[in-house]
Amino acid sequence: MSIQKRVWLTGASSGMGLNMAEQLAAQGHKLALTARSAKPLLELAERYPGQILVITADLTDLNAVQTAAERINSAWGALDLVILNAGTCEYMDLPTFDSALFARVMQTNVQGTVHCIEAALPLLRAGTKPHLVGVGSSVTYVPLPRAEAYGASKAAVRYLFQSLELDLAQWDIKVSLVSPGFVDTPLTAANDFPMPMQVSSEKAARTILRGIERGQREIRFPTVFISILRLIGSLPAALRVLLTRRLARPASEEGSN
């Protein structure tokens, strides 16, 4: 991305988001960085004076998102690249099915993303070679235990972006979906299970930005891990379930967290 772009990046205060922000800033792009926590964004803005808009917002609040978009419009009048990276993860521990947990995850991962899309599309239509990017998850390749809420939310994001690709083509807006495996972030640091082939957030950010530059429809990594998940997901249902149900926690461990 050698040509300077006007970029809106959400979930920019930690993990992949902060690393993408750092790499994009170093490349000279204009950045609107959104997160609930302002401190890391302000520190980055100090290193790149005049290049970064810091916008704190709760993306589940439509009014806050629209206000963020108004600030971007006032500053630049358009966007060339939008990376919707903000998200959360909570796991379900049966036998108690927690509908409030489900609602929290869906509200952040789906409705928060939808709010940003609504606000960003007018700015993208005014941009140069506009590109909309959403961060999904490799969990959508195969159903996994405890991932009822998180997996459903990311499956919704996958379908949403694949549909948007069809409808936005008439305005020449490129659409990409990011499907990462396990990435070392503050969010995954709370996971209480093995995370095979985990990659650093810095490497993940580089991979995502390289995929965006190449115009990839789907940016998925790490390759071997994704290939294994896709293979399992393509198996006959009986065999797939036989393999993946072994990952479920024994009943004696239910509710232990």
For the whole model, what pTM was predicted?
A: 0.94
Q: Which residues of 171-202 are buried (b: 16+ CB within 10 A; e: fewer)?
A: eebbbbbbbbbbbbbeeeeeeeeeeeebbebb
**Predicted confidence (pLDDT) per residue in 218-250, tens digit:** 999 999 999 999 999 999 999 999 999 988 877
Say which of 48, 141, 150, 159 is annotated catalytic.
150
- How far is it, in rounded angstroms, from Cα 118 to Cα 163? 15
What does the block give as tokens for 180?
């990462």
- So where are the chain's domains? 6-249
**Predicted confidence (pLDDT) per residue in 5-58, tens digit:** 999 999 999 999 999 999 999 999 999 999 998 999 999 999 999 999 999 999
91 noted as active-site residue: no
Ranges of beta strands (E only) in the chain are: 6-10, 30-35, 52-56, 81-84, 131-135, 174-180, 183-184, 199-200, 218-221
- Are 88 and 13 in contact, with CB atoms under 8 Å apart? no
What is the CATH architecture of 6-249? 3-Layer(aba) Sandwich (3.40)
What's the pLDDT band for 257 if we cut at 50, 70, 90? Answer: very low
Tell me the three state secondary structure of residue 73: helix
